[in-house]
Structure 1
């Protein structure tokens, strides 16, 4: 049930997201590309952070709602989206405060890897989606864990903590590794069908100074992106 508390470093994380490699030039453009045309669709951002994806989706013509477990992040999102934005503080590990089949699309980007148990959250995300609706997921790539921790048991769901720097501030994030087979089984049990499994390249606009040292290509192991269909 462990989940990193972003309240203490929300502003630093949001500032890093605006320009950093992993969000601004990788995760965010990848999710936007997978979402495609969202005009006229009702969309939920589950774990919205400071709201950059919500802004992009709203600009694309979607009707957007979002929530985050961090009150500080929701405050930043409200500053970005306006006082009338459909935002709330909520924990994905609790039942969602939305009606059955309320959304055409749900985005859950860089959230699930903080959770040990996916069964309840995925069941709730499926519940609030219309039949045939989409859940767009981004998670830590399981292969990255195997590379960084070669002596660990890849097939075991494992908690681990790593340190990062966000806008010059050192913070510690706690994740749960799970193998690809466990991810797939969780999606299927929750009532989803995998329609896209993506390992995208960096955005073409990535500045050279942000590219990983010794990096010569466009694709690298970082996050795994999945588009799921509610069945």
Structure 2
């Protein structure tokens, strides 16, 4: 009997188009994560920005539209294909893995954006070291990860203080997908940032974009904000 092939974790190639289509207009991505990242980034005109784990490129595009000089990468070849379609053939978007040495020189970027990527990794040591390497001194790392309270809300019996693997099921544009995450407590995040040579400048739990309240009246009824992701601005020291 032949062995059942092992399914790759977080295989975005298998649902890239559905994921990209869903998140063009989704509350969590289009009206929460993206505006929060852009607000934290502020005036980016002329800044060299790396979008690490760029997916289909919506944040990369928004930063470019605001005058940034953008570069992006993703480990999913299909996502990179979608990003190139979105950004044009001349866009510097390539296949690379945040958990491996990055194909960029030291101090190449003013800012690095890492939106909803690090929570897929058990160990942040090497990725943060590489991000620190490609940032100029004083550069910013702007990132979003699963809020650490989410795991505890979904699994009340769990130990919040352990770094632990967990999965959740989703439907993206009608296609089912399973994503696997690593929960870590807040202090483990900030300890990792400090060890990699970053100073925490901002910790943010933002509200969604103002227009979200009209577009998602049921989900946001009676809420000014909600728990989903946690946002940071870190400075390379």
Structure 2 length-normalised TM: 0.94
Structure 1 gap ranges (5+)? none
Secondary structure of 1:165's counterpart equals strand
Deviations 1:127-174 (A, max 9, x none): 000000000010000011111111011001110010011111111000
Q: Which deviates more from structure 2 when the two are superposed, residues 99-108 or residues 163-172?
A: 163-172
After superposing on structure 2, the runs of 4+ consecutive aligned residues of structure 1 that deviate more than 2 Å are 207-215
Q: Which deviates more from structure 2 when the two are superposed, residues 192-201 or residues 162-171?
A: 162-171
Secondary structure of 1:57's counterpart equals helix
Per the alignment, residue 155 of structure 1 pairs with: 161
Per the alignment, residue 128 of structure 2 pairs with: 122
Aligned alpha-carbon RMSD (Å): 1.3
Aligned positions, number: 230
Per the alignment, residue 52 of structure 2 pairs with: 46
Per the alignment, residue 33 of structure 1 pairs with: 39
Per the alignment, residue 216 of structure 1 pairs with: 222
The structure 2 residue matched to 1:107, chosen from 97, 109, 113, is 113
Larger Rg: 2
Per the alignment, residue 82 of structure 1 pairs with: 88
Deviations 1:77-104 (A, max 9, x none): 0000111110110111100110000000
The structure 2 residue matched to 1:191, chosen from 179, 194, 197, is 197
User: 1:206 Cα shift?
Assistant: 0.8
Per the alignment, residue 5 of structure 1 pairs with: 11
- 1:227 pairs with 2:233: yes
Per the alignment, residue 99 of structure 2 pairs with: 93
Structure 1 length-normalised TM: 0.97
User: 1:212 Cα shift?
Assistant: 5.7
User: Taking structure 1 as reference, are residues 49 and 212 closer, same or farther at Cα in structure 2, changes over 3 Å only?
Assistant: farther
Per the alignment, residue 173 of structure 1 pairs with: 179
For residues 218 and 126 of structure 2, the distance between their equivalents in structure 1, rounded to whole angstroms, comes to 36
Structure 2 gap ranges (5+)? 1-7
